[in-house]
Structure 1
């Protein structure tokens, strides 16, 4: 298999086949991000021959004698079919509709059991796709996109150079919904900065409440020295929330969300794993967050943050 640099995937894509079709990020300007700093280039699409080669490799490995024997030892007549593929890279959905359809056709050619195709996406990835394009992509299997919207706070989006506004989030996600493409959000706790987190959380909830993400997955902002944001802090242009502030922000977000969605803080950046269905589990989530806020020491949370080698 062809893999370039560190491969990132959402926690809930653990059972998906990871297929590299891009590496890096087309935007590559977010001040806090260091996820693709190990790559010597900004963004690259994989050659189609590499993608086809990887799919052929998977097809062969699934049905070689060793795999068949392993399945029988597990009491299965044959290896479990692959039902979902996750395309790797920061935003493969930016590829043209033609390329994405070509990739989907290759996946079906070698792995006909695949039902859906997921990937990371930027809000801007669908701007140059028509409504008809989005429908074609859904019909080809693209569904369950993961979008790092980070926040609905326009001031924070601008300062962090995300490259879109809260209105863009609304416009593009509603287009995805019209095409019946489901999507989930990553929310970045603390992106609004010290003293502004709860305001940012309320602004985000206002945006999210107008949409239908299948998941809202908070991650805690963790600042590394190689990031542009670290330099902004050194220059006195931005201050980070305390760890307790981050949990107060998260509490405000949960309190103000009134849509049906799955709320899951699952990534390594979260010292505490939080999961629940909204609105059913809202009170339980708020009680858990209150216990963290009032019973856990700032020093212990900061120790966790400082000793987090990578996300």
Structure 2
């Protein structure tokens, strides 16, 4: 299989066939991100034969596992949805050719990747099987989005995800706890909940901001331009986010950046989740949580 660099996927794509069609990130300007620092963006406009070769290899491997079929394919790379619609449709056609029982195709997407597609193209992509995009919106706090160089604002999140809703393409959000900075987290969480409440994400996955010395954000901190939340402050932020979500959605804080993991369905499990967070705030020390973060070498 043709894989380039570290392959990142959401936890819920563990059983999906991972197919590389891009490598790296087209944006590559978020101040906090170091995931693709050593990997310039590339996509295989002239190398679809590599993709087809991977599909052939995967088909042979799955053939050896009796009674195992591929029902979902996840395209790897930071944001494969940036590819033009006709290229994505060609990839979907090849995927269905080799795996006829594949029902859906997912991938990471930036908000700006949706913008460059027409409504008609989005509908065609849904008909071809694209569903369940994972979008790192990070926050609905415009001040934080601007400072971190995300390349879009909260109004863009609403506008573009409503277009996905209209096309029937499902999506999940990643929320980045602490992105608004010290003293602003609860406000940022409240604004983000207001954004999410206008949309239909299937899942909101909360990760806690990890700051590494090679990041631009680290240099901003050293210059005194930004301060990180305390560990217990981050859980108070999560509490506000959950309190203010009023849509049916699966909520999960399951990534390695979360010292204590939790998940549940809203609104049914809201009180349970809030109870867990309250216990953390009342019984776990700041130092214990900070020690976990210091000892986490990378995501």
TM-score under structure 1 length normalisation: 0.94
- SS in structure 2 of the partner of residue 170 of structure 1: helix
- What corresponds to 2:181 in structure 1? 193
- What corresponds to 1:45 in structure 2? 43
2:239 is the alignment partner of 1:251: yes
- SS in structure 2 of the partner of residue 148 of structure 1: strand
2:21 is the alignment partner of 1:21: yes
2:294 is the alignment partner of 1:306: yes
Tell me, in whole angstroms, the C-alpha distance in 2 between the residues paired with 1:38 and 1:2.
18
Q: 1:109 Cα shift?
A: 1.0
- What corresponds to 1:2 in structure 2? 2
Instruction: After superposing the two structures, state which structure 1 stretch, 44-53 or 89-98, moved more.
Output: 44-53
Instruction: After superposing the two structures, state which structure 1 stretch, 107-116 or 190-199, moved more.
Output: 107-116
Tell me, in whole angstroms, the C-alpha distance in 2 between the residues paired with 1:164 and 1:125.
11
- What corresponds to 1:106 in structure 2? 94
Of 226, 244, 251, 1:238 maps to 226
Tell me, in whole angstroms, the C-alpha distance in 2 between the residues paired with 1:155 and 1:281.
31
Tell me, in whole angstroms, the C-alpha distance in 2 between the residues paired with 1:266 and 1:38.
26
- 1:210-247 CA-partner distances (Å, limit 9, x unpaired): 11100000000010001000000000000000000000
Aligned-residue CA RMSD (Å): 0.7
Q: 1:126 Cα shift?
A: 1.1
- SS in structure 2 of the partner of residue 52 of structure 1: helix
- 1:127-174 CA-partner distances (Å, limit 9, x unpaired): 111100000000000000000000000000000000000000000000
- What corresponds to 1:226 in structure 2? 214
- What corresponds to 1:75 in structure 2? none
Q: 1:62 Cα shift?
A: 2.0
- What corresponds to 2:59 in structure 1? 59
Tell me, in whole angstroms, the C-alpha distance in 2 between the residues paired with 1:270 and 1:79.
36
Structure 1 unaligned residues grouped into runs of 5+: 72-77
- SS in structure 1 of the partner of residue 95 of structure 2: helix
The number of residue pairs the alignment matches comes to 297
Q: 1:60 Cα shift?
A: 1.6
- SS in structure 2 of the partner of residue 253 of structure 1: helix
2:271 is the alignment partner of 1:273: no
- 1:64-98 CA-partner distances (Å, limit 9, x unpaired): xxx2xxx5xxxxxx331110000000100000000
- 1:255-295 CA-partner distances (Å, limit 9, x unpaired): 01000000011111111111000000000000000000111
- What corresponds to 1:135 in structure 2? 123
- SS in structure 2 of the partner of residue 269 of structure 1: coil
- SS in structure 2 of the partner of residue 202 of structure 1: helix
Tell me, in whole angstroms, the C-alpha distance in 1 between the residues paired with 2:62 and 2:178.
43
Tell me, in whole angstroms, the C-alpha distance in 2 between the residues paired with 1:210 and 1:218.
18
